[in-house]
Structure 1
Amino acid sequence: MSDLLRSSRMGWRACVAFAAVVAALSACSGGVPTYAPDYERPSRELTPTFEGAPVLPPPDLTDDGPGSLVRVEPVSGNASFDNSNSTAVRIVYRSTSGAAGTPTEVSGLVAVPPGQPPAGGWPVVSFGHEMIGVQPKCAPSLVGDFLGYAGQMTTFLNRGYVVVLSDFQGLGIEGQPHSVVDSAALGNNMIDAARAARRVLPSAGTRWAAFGVGEGGLAAWAAAERAPTYGAGLEMVGSVAVSPYADLTPLVDAAAAGTLAPGEQSRLYMLALQSLANTSPGFDLDAYRTGLATERWATVTDCAPRNPNEALRLLTEIPRDDFRPRDAGATDDLRRRLGDAAVPTGPPAPGSVPVLVIYGTDDAVVPAAGIDRAVVRACAEGDPVEVMRRIGDSKPVNDQVIGSALSWLLARFDGQQLGDVCVGAT
């Protein structure tokens, strides 16, 4: 992976958010261990780098369906993992697509904490990353610093969790389409990532939780919804969905009215459209773009543009009218397609998994109105949902969000019952 590609990916808002999350997580946890300047670090050629880092057994490569491993590769030289005495591997594992339900292969990262596992095995946290792009090269696991996610993972590693980060279907592996709105595929990928972690480390337990932001928030919510039926053999204790793409239909209304916010909200709309073009038969992408939107589409939807600042300028200069649907029929069709992709997808199954939904009312990218609708539907269906609705907040992640998420997940692993189901739902 070239330095150019790494730096290009860091140009978008999502990468700025990654850095904020890392800082917030470190603040909540006390950060990764630090050492005096004269600390003599062991040679990078040693494996593992630090004495005490766990040595993993040979992986179980038995092919028995979703969650089984295809390939395992060691990760070395990452400061966050090294400083926490953790061991990490890049994996390719089997999963299931969304609508078609066909077998797929997905890449990702698994990181293992040092020490002895508790009774019942290490608990597992499955991370869902923010929207990056829809091209195979956009996978976090392909970048040397993993777009900052190693720092986030380390916070949970230091608390005694095995952590797995899925790239999601179509990112990291050629030949499979990626969609930022395919909740079924994203949820399956999160569940199967937890299964794959247990194949990497047999001492990982069956109890697990999900945490995700944006696209990853949709994945985390979808995983909780699908766990009772698709997640057999595992016990999912809870899910935290931060600013999830739970219902993006308000973007359609904004595009039709010419009020779509320039910048990252426009890019989210574009990648949602590109996702449908990649995965939804009969979808006409040109019914939703004209002029500069069409001309600059490839550049501004690229997760690794040659010049990120120039790409951002090109994005913000696209007139809002260039995103208007062609006619009322196209508007209705797009609203229907994004509505079909929204969560919840139906009444809760027996054994429903609790979900904490966290979002800001003034988020400039993810429309709060869509999350409001999703929460109201979930509560009406009887889903076990807790809501942290941050009035006036425009940022998806801050210290309060991370602290609340960590405490909430710990309570779920401890078996505590939800205290405020649907309080704060509008």
Structure 2
Amino acid sequence: MKLPVRFVVACALSMLGALPATAQSVGTLLEATPLPGAPAGGTAYRIRYTSQDEFGAPKQITGTVIVPPGAAPAGGRDIVAWAHGTYGVAEKCAPWPTLFDSIAGLPDMMARGYLVVASDYQGLGNPGPHPYLAGVSTAHSVLDAIRAAKGVSGASPSARFVTWGESQGAHASLWTAHVAPTYAPELKLMGAAAAAPPTDLKANLTGGSNAAIRAFLTAYTADSWSAFYNAPLAVFATPATQGLIHRLAQNNCTDLGKPKISTEIGLAEMIAAMKGVDLSADAPWGELMTRNSLSPRGYTVPIMIVQEDTDPVVAPAVTHDYAQKACAAGTTVHYLRLPDGNHNDAAQKSAAQAVPWMADRFAGKPAPSDCGKLP
């Protein structure tokens, strides 16, 4: 199916609007403000930096840089680019208030002397819209945060980095691995680790065993893509359902504790309204899902994938199939299967294996492969 004219025109206008040269190139540090409470004797900064979305439109993004204690080695500090999971799609849903606790393996990274760089992504903690699960735009946010870290006092980054993320951030981690060689060729990617990655968005957004979570993810995706891609909600949603989608997406961040009664009612209404609706069957939604799904081909570095057998959000069978295809394409895949978990804890439960795996990539050791063990 062809994309609707309004969608194509919006993309073209976005690209044309980005053609004039901006005053600062992507990855320029604009501001660095010290943050209290950095773990393990490190120093942390909130940063604001320049980037661009997938259409080339200039953006200013926020994030965090955590500098480990001690002097930097002669070649600079190796970098772990942390990509956070889903906090929401509204500007207020930035991850930084709880960031130190949420970065899986952060104390170990500090002990090993790694510089940790964590983008908020476009539209979270900075003006939106947030391109939720939009692979190229999010990869730009991650890579330009690494570039901006050069300007942070005491950071002293090397050119070498790994990516590490959970859920939405696992999607970002693997997308960054695809985009880095062409978008940031001056940086040297050593590996990409992903806990509970949504790899096939058609399967991931329409599957999952928890109806309330599916409703939230649908609201987040639909509200985000209608604003970012100008994708029409009217092809699958009534005006009342469109309003419900917007309210659920803009009024709810995932870290605000127990949902309000109004949110629970809204979720019930959303579940009922979307019953029998296949979002992937309507243009341009299906095309956008395909466009932002991850290719199992084209990796230039080893990857690590973590998947819980009881994940109610990202179906284990979908992740397993992706790992098999990546292996068949020639990628070295370390596949860590966890027997239980609730999706949100996949990165924390695997950090004791993931951080040493990253260390081995920096050390130049042969990457372990589980490709022969995947049936």
* TM-score, normalising length: structure 2: 0.82
1:180 maps to amino acid: Y
Residue equivalent to 1:88:
44
Alignment correspondent of 1:4: none
2:211 to 253, 262, 276: 262
Letter of the aligned partner of 2:229 in structure 1?
S
Written as runs of structure 1 = structure 2, the 5 A alignment for 1:32-51 is none
Q: How far off its partner does 1:84 sit?
A: 2.3
Task: Verify: 1:191 aligned to 2:139, yes or no.
Answer: no
Is contact 1:213-1:244 (8 Å) kept? Answer: yes
Equivalent residue of 2:216, what SS? helix
Cross-structure match for 2:16: none
Q: Does 1:308 align with 2:259?
A: yes
Residues 134-149 of structure 1: matches in 2 within 5 Å? Answer: 134-141=89-96, 143=97, 145-146=98-99, 148-149=101-102
Q: Does 1:216 align with 2:169?
A: yes
**1:154 Cα deviation (Å)?**
4.1
The match for 2:4 is: none
2:118 aligned partner: 165
1:138 is displaced (CA, Å) by 1.2
The alpha carbon displacement at 1:347 in A equals: 4.1
Q: Deviations over 1:135-154 (max 9, x none)?
A: 1111123x3x4473478544
Asked whether the equivalents of residues 126 and 210 of structure 1 are also in contact (C-alpha less than 8 Å), the reply is yes
The residue aligned with 1:40 is none
Distance (whole Å) between structure 2 residues aligned to residue 240 and residue 307 of structure 1? 30
CA pair 386-332 structure 1, distance change in 2 beyond 3 A: farther
Instruction: Measure how far apart 1:319 and its partner are.
Output: 6.0
Q: Find the aligned partners of 1:147 and 1:70 in 2 and give their Cα distance.
A: 22
Q: Which amino acid aligns with 2:190?
A: V
Contact 2:205-2:214 at 8 Å conserved across structures: no
1-structure distance, mates of 2:48, 2:107: 21
**Partner Cα separation in structure 1 for residue 229 and residue 95 of structure 2:** 25
Aligned CA-pair RMSD: 3.0
Show the counterpart of 1:68: 28
State the partner residue of 2:131.
Answer: 179
My pick for the range that moved more, 215-224 or 67-76, is 67-76
Alignment of structure 1 residues 223-242 onto 2, 5 Å: 223-242=176-195
Secondary structure of the 1:382 match is coil
Q: 1:273 to 1:424 in 2, by over 3 A?
A: farther
How far did residue 109 of structure 1 move?
Answer: 0.6
SS in 2 for 1:197: helix
Q: Indicate conservation of the 8 Å contact 1:251/1:269, yes or no.
A: no
CA distance 1:298–1:287, shift in 2 (3 Å)? same
Matched, 1:416 2:365: yes
* CA 1:296–1:260: 2 relative to 1, 3 Å: farther
Q: Is contact 1:186–1:218 with CA below 8 Å preserved after alignment?
A: no
Structure 1 residues 380, 332: closer, same or farther in 2, change over 3 A? farther
Runs of at least 4 residues of structure 1 off by over 6 A? none
Equivalent residue for 2:66? 111
Q: Distance between the aligned counterparts of 1:383 and 1:348, measured in 2?
A: 8
Cα separation, 1, equivalents of 2:321 and 2:187? 30
* Deviations 1:59-81, CA, capped at 9 Å, x for gaps: xxxx75222112222223x2xx1
Task: State the distance in 2 between where 1:120 and 1:188 align.
Answer: 25
SS at match of 1:73: strand
Match of 1:128 in 2: 83
Pair 1:317-2:271 in alignment? no
Label 1:399 to 1:136 Cα distance change in 2 as closer, same or farther (>3 A): closer
- Corresponding residue SS for 1:185: helix
Q: One-letter code of the match for 2:367?
A: L
In structure 2, what is the Cα distance between the partners aligned to 1:311 and 1:356? 40
Deviation for aligned residue 1:377? 3.6
Gaps of 5+ in 2: 1-22
Contact map agreement 2:170 2:195 (CA 8 A) in 1: yes
Deviation at residue 219 of structure 1 after TM alignment: 0.8
| Residue 288 (structure 2) aligns with | 337
- Alpha-carbon deviations, 1:389-425, whole Å to 9, x = none? 3355443426641111112111111111212153454
- 116-125 vs 299-308, greater mean Cα deviation: 299-308
- Distance in 2 (CA, whole Å) between partners of 1:157 and 1:329 is 42
Long gaps (5+) in structure 1: 1-62
**Structure 2 CA distance for partners of 1:331 and 1:392, relative to 1, 3 Å:** farther
Structure number, greater radius of gyration: 1
Query: Residue 156 in 1 paired to residue 106 in 2?
Result: no
Aligned to 2:3: none
Measured in 2, the distance between the counterparts of 1:306 and 1:114 equals 33
Paired with 1:140 and 1:319, the residues of 2 have a C-alpha distance of 26
CA distance in 1, matches of 2:325, 2:350: 23
Distance 1:306 1:285, change over 3 A: farther
C-alpha distance in 2 between matches for 1:64 and 1:294 = 38
Residue 96 of structure 1: how far off its partner (Å) = 2.4
Please tell me the residue identity of whatever aligns with 1:132: Y
Number of aligned residue pairs? 349
Alignment-mate amino acid for residue 173 of structure 1: N
Aligned mates of 2:206, 2:29 — CA distance in 1: 42
Rounded Cα–Cα distance in structure 2 between residues aligned with 1:318 and 1:382: 45
Distance of 2:155 and 2:330 partners within structure 1: 35
